[in-house]
Amino acid sequence: MEKAASMQAFKVEKVEFTNAVQGQKKIELGFSYSYNVKYSKQNTCIGEFVAKVTDKSNPDEFGITVTAVGVFSFKQGSLKERLHIETYNELFPHVRAFVTTLTANAGIPPIIIPFIDISNKEIYRFEMGKDGKKPSADDFVMPDDLQ
């Protein structure tokens, strides 16, 4: 299947890094991600990926937050669900490499953030309320339910 999106540019916009761990302390890492896409009318979109790595027990002692953006062009008529997945899959390796390089250069064991395959997750979509007012629980639908 031909790709619907193509990355045109990538940059890391913001990095927060705290390494106040004292001595040879073992830490348990926790990972969280968020990903959002904003679309324009010129068949381009911007994906913003935020990756957080923290010590589960002491997040104030060790934490990394990386905010990266990718600019993508896409084919007219492409489904937003497909674009969301494709742009995430293209942007993720850049963020992963950045975190690994940052930690390796900081004198600690390199951290490789785990990949999450969002194409296998249930993605909920938000539709405006049917009456044009505030949305209700009935306005949250699965992509397969959309027509």
Give the DSSP letter string of the chain.
---SEEEEEEEEEEEEEEE---SS----EEEEEEEEEEE-TTSEEEEEEEEEEEESS-TTTEEEEEEEEEEEEE-TT--HHHHHHHHHHHHHHHHHHHHHHHHHHTTSPPP-PPP--GGGS---EE---TTSSS--GGGEE-GGG--
Confidence of residue 128 (pLDDT cuts 50, 70, 90): very low
CATH of domain 5-116: 3.10.420.10
Q: What is the pLDDT of residues 72-111, one digit of tens each?
A: 999 888 899 899 999 999 999 999 999 999 999 999 999 9
Q: What is the pLDDT of residues 5-14, one digit of tens each?
A: 999 999 999 9
Q: What is the pLDDT of residues 6-49, one digit of tens each?
A: 999 999 999 999 999 988 888 899 999 999 999 988 999 999 99
Name the residue ranges covered by the structural domains of the chain: 5-116, 120-147
